């Protein structure tokens, strides 16, 4: 069981890394796409936001779907879908066709995080979920870091269209590997025993209505807080390469080297965040104190992104961006533990993950379009977007500290419960 579950988490890590390469390749290719298709900054902002519309809207239905069919089927289905539309982007010849591909990309990518959160809740005890979560979540930073040099190299060798074909093909290879590998740990006797215990637990609990989850203040605090975190973090995934090229004068070569420093720092920050949360809990801190200390502390430190506006030194600028990105990742490891921590039953983990991720990814729509139009209004200056990002980091810290309540499973009332179906509960497990 020990080796099998870490192999599963590694596969989740790879899926999330591919997820972020496929969504971030447009940001790296943006200057070249703008030149070839004749797009302005406002149009590019709209194009960058296209992915987030469907990605956000599909979070809640995909979370529900994962809880119904299981992550073993839902995750590879999602990866195959988004990989196909990543490759299809290479054929786009206009703003409309590329926007359509980005919309379809968002539909598939919506399944990644709810599936991974579900898998962690099934395979890991609460004392280990922080680090396990930080591993799969660090895939987002690895993907972001790899996307810059990888896509930049492909563009330099074969053009921006080839970058979408190649990155899309990588996802399809992962799908084949998932079905070849994932079956093996499922056959371990310890896993089967774990699944049997979980089925019995589900059968003993009343079925909680999906809509009743929204009655809890903590869920709304999670949604607002995660919105604020992603408002900051999506700057790195969308406009950051353009910022380095247009405002800081980075070449394609320096973009693929120095430009990866903040993403690399965030990988380490995420792992430290997961280990810290688990360590605090094992040392006797309450789950609330362990999770909130990491989340609120990370959000407060991430506001340092605004300080990059006031420095001329390239290294100082990269230092502030690295601190901000690492702090966001530090908080993110605990944020993605929350769905399993507060779910009223194991059958609601992916649903809550999808709900909070829906809210968080509406931030992607705002930051991409807001930045694009601020560039038009401000004659290409990134000052307003970066100061706004810092303000949202502070608002996120406030939400997790004061709106999110005690970190514990949501209490249920007679109004929350739907009629109990023991056989159906066992089958879903």
Tell me how far apart the alpha carbons of residues 56 and 103 are, in angstroms, rounded to a whole number: 11
Half-sphere exposure of 395 (CA within 13 A, CB side): 15
- pLDDT at position 206: 57
- pLDDT at position 379: 84
Eight-state DSSP code of residue 347: G
**pTM (2 d.p.):** 0.76
Nearest to 52 by CA among 358, 350, 392: 358
Nearest to 16 by CA among 185, 135, 179, 184: 135
Nearest to 68 by CA among 255, 207, 235: 207
* Residue whose tokens read 């699944």: 195
- pLDDT at position 225: 95
Instruction: Tell me which H or E stretch contains 41.
Output: helix 41-57
- pLDDT at position 238: 77
- pLDDT at position 187: 41
CATH architecture under which domain 1-204 falls: Up-down Bundle (1.20)
Pair 59, 361: CB distance under 8 Å: yes
Task: Say how far residue 291 (Cα) sits from the centre of its chain.
Answer: 18
Going by CATH, does the domain composed of 211-409 fall within 1.20.1250.20? yes
Half-sphere exposure of 208 (CA within 13 A, CB side): 26
Handedness of CA 202, 204, 210, 216 (dihedral sign): negative
Pair 140, 269: CB distance under 8 Å: no
pLDDT tens, position by position, 240-255? 888 898 888 888 778 7
| End-to-end alpha carbon distance in the chain | 18
What residue ranges of the chain have pLDDT lower than 70? Answer: 1-3, 183-207, 412-429
- pLDDT at position 366: 80
Handedness of CA 222, 304, 133, 350 (dihedral sign): positive
Tell me how far apart the alpha carbons of residues 312 and 93 are, in angstroms, rounded to a whole number: 38
- Compute, in degrees rounded to 10, the torsion defined by CA atoms 122, 128, 129, 130: -170
- pLDDT at position 153: 86
Beta bridge partners of 236: none
- pLDDT at position 204: 52
Range(s) within the chain of domains with CATH label 1.20.1250.20: 1-204, 211-409
List of E strands, 172-306: 207-208
Query: For the chain, how are helix, strand and coil distributed in percent, rounded to 5?
Result: 85, 0, 15
Tell me how far apart the alpha carbons of residues 166 and 267 are, in angstroms, rounded to a whole number: 24
């Amino acid at each position: 069981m020990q080796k099998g579950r870490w192999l599963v988490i590694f596969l989740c890590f790879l899926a999330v890394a591919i997820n972020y390469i496929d969504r971030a390749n447009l940001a790296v290719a943006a200057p070249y796409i703008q030149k070839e298709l004749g797009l302005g900054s406002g149009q590019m902002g709209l194009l960058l936001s296209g992915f987030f519309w469907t990605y956000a809207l599909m979070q809640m239905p995909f979370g529900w779907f994962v809880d119904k069919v299981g992550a073993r089927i839902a995750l590879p289905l999602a990866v195959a879908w988004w990989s196909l539309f990543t490759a299809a982007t290479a054929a786009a010849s206009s703003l409309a066709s590329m926007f359509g591909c980005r919309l379809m990309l968002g539909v598939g990518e919506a399944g990644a995080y709810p599936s991974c959160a579900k898998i962690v809740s099934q395979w890991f005890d609460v004392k280990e979920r922080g680090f396990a979560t930080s591993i799969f979540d660090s895939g987002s930073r690895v993907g972001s870091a790899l996307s810059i040099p990888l896509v930049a190299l492909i563009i330099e060798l074969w053009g921006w269209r080839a970058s979408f074909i190649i990155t899309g093909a990588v996802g399809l290879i992962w799908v084949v590997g998932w079905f070849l590998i994932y079956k093996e740990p499922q056959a371990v006797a310890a896993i089967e025993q774990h699944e049997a215990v979980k089925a019995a637990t589900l059968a003993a609990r009343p079925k909680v209505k999906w809509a009743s989850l929204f009655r809890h203040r903590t869920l709304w605090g999670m949604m607002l807080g995660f919105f604020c975190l992603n408002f900051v973090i999506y700057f790195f995934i969308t406009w950051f390469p353009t910022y380095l090229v247009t405002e800081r004068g980075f070449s394609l070569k320096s973009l693929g080297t120095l430009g990866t420093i903040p993403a690399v720092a965030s990988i380490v920050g995420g792992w430290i965040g997961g280990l810290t949360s688990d360590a605090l809990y094992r040392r006797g801190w309450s789950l609330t104190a362990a999770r909130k200390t990491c989340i609120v502390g990370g959000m407060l430190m991430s506001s340092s992104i605004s300080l990059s506006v006031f420095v001329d030194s390239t290294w100082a600028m990269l230092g502030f961006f690295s601190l901000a990105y690492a702090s966001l990742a530090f908080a993110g490891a605990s944020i993605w533990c929350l769905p399993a921590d507060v779910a009223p039953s194991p059958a609601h983990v992916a649903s809550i993950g999808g709900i909070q991720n829906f809210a968080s990814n509406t931030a992607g729509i705002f930051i991409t379009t807001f930045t694009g139009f601020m560039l038009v209004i401000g004659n290409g200056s990134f000052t307003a977007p970066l100061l706004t990002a810092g303000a949202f980091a502070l608002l996120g810290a406030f939400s997790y500290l004061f709106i999110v309540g005690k970190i514990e499973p949501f209490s249920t009332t007679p109004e929350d419960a739907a009629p109990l179906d023991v056989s159906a509960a066992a089958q879903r497990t």
